[in-house]
Amino acid sequence: MIIVLKPECTKEQRISFSEMLKENYDVKVNVWDGVHSTVLGLIGDTTQVDIEYIDAQDIVESVKRVQEPYKKANRKFHPENTVIEVGNVKIGDGSLNIMAGPCSVESEEQIVEIAKQVKASGATLLRGGAFKPRTSPYAFQGLKAEGLDLLKIARKETGLPIVTEIMRTSHIDMFESVDIIQVGARNMQNFELLKELGKIDKPILLKRGLSATIEEWLMSAEYIMAGGNSKVILCERGIRTYETFTRNTLDIAAIPIVKRLSHLPVIADPSHASGKSWLVEDLAMASVAAGADGLIIEVHNDPPHALSDGAQSLTPKQFDKVAKKLFSLKSSLVK
């Protein structure tokens, strides 16, 4: 961390400020005395240093981080890829994993049928919403506990591990037998939820917030990891921009960036990123070409009658075609 002091800062102020820094944090302070200004360099573990606090000092002109503020999620301190195992499925080992299924679980028949079909097409995990975050209080909010039970039935029928979204801390026990717990975009900075998920031993699929920077997203992963749970899968699902043609803007660059900054696996969600089923294939292909470890894709047996997100769902038949292309692309890249 580099701190530029104001020209009017006296030597006494500078010394007392440096002392404070050394006392409060585990850092050494180097001083570089220029003609017009003085610069302090903090050496050591600066993840604990509160940059806003430093910036608020009267004598400080500006501050600049040199090191990233996250540690456990940082590839620098953990160069090898993290591979997350769920049953036989390995996420982050260089293979391509597709999580597929409906936005909302609607009935046993629906979820079992879709599960069988997406499995046949190569999906390795089943997604499905039981608790649904909806913008309107009047919209369908999911089958809740019953939805979880139906997912388990579908898992039993197909062997596919299940991925589903949690919305409140008090539900963690209820999610005991879920294979991967998803934290939705709107809860990416629900820090209380993240802290609790840090205490359990289960993979967490952490979606990027609607307007979260890559650094904030990794800081949210750090929240979970700081609690002891290092099984975090990151999911790029589009960010909010001024462009309204798509529901969100898939930040394709986030995939290689996160792979470089962090050792955690990264997947993409082309369904939510676009909000339009006809865009899913192209965005999924782009994500794989950019290095994604997996995809999460909405598939519904009857999109026009889906209780949520029908506009962005593929039919099982469409999904089959897309999955073939994705696996073919993946194998051509590996060669």
- 231-270: contacts with a copy of itself (CB under 8 A): 239-246, 249-257, 260
Expressed in angstroms, the distance from the first to the final Cα of the chain is: 42
Q: Helix crossing, 316-334 with 108-120: angle to 10°? A: 30
| 64 binds a copy of itself, rule: CB under 8 A | yes
Provide, rounded to whole angstroms, the least separation between the CB of residue 159 and a copy of itself. Answer: 30
Number of neighbours of residue 179 by Cβ within 10 angstroms: 19
Quick one: CA dihedral 24, 25, 28, 30, positive or negative?
negative
For the four alpha carbons of 201, 130, 124 and 314, in that order, the dihedral sign comes to negative
Q: How far is the CB of 316 from a copy of itself (least distance, A)?
A: 16
24 binds a copy of itself (CB under 8 A): no
In the window 165-204, what residues touch a copy of itself (CB under 8 A)? 167-170, 186-187, 189-193, 195
Mark the segment that binds a copy of itself (CB under 8 A) among 38-46, 90-98, 108-116, 119-127. Answer: 38-46
| Contacting a copy of itself within 112-131 (CB under 8 A) | none
Residue numbers 268-327 binding a copy of itself by CB under 8 A: 273-274, 278-279, 282-283, 285-291, 303-304, 306-311, 313
Closest to a copy of itself by CB, 176 vs 243, is 243
CA distance 148 to 207: 20
**88 part of the interface to a copy of itself, by CB under 8 A:** no
Q: Is 56 in the site for a copy of itself (CB under 8 A)?
A: yes
DSSP of 108-175: HHHHHHHHHHHHHTT--EEE-BSS---SSTTS----THHHHHHHHHHHHHH---EEEEE--GGGTGGG
Whether the CB-CB separation of 155 and 191 falls below 8 Å is answered with no
Q: Which structure tokens are listed for 234?
A: 């990151």
Place of tokens 């994604």: 292
Q: CB 296 → a copy of itself: shortest distance, Å?
A: 17
Tell which residue, 170, 77, 184, 120, has the closest CA to residue 320.
120
Query: Of these, 8, 52, 80, 176, which contacts a copy of itself (CB under 8 A)?
Result: 52
Q: Which is nearer to a copy of itself, 2 or 153 (CB)?
A: 2
- Least separation, in Å, of the C-beta of 35 and a copy of itself? 6
Under the binding rule (CB under 8 A), the answer on residue 62 touching a copy of itself is: yes
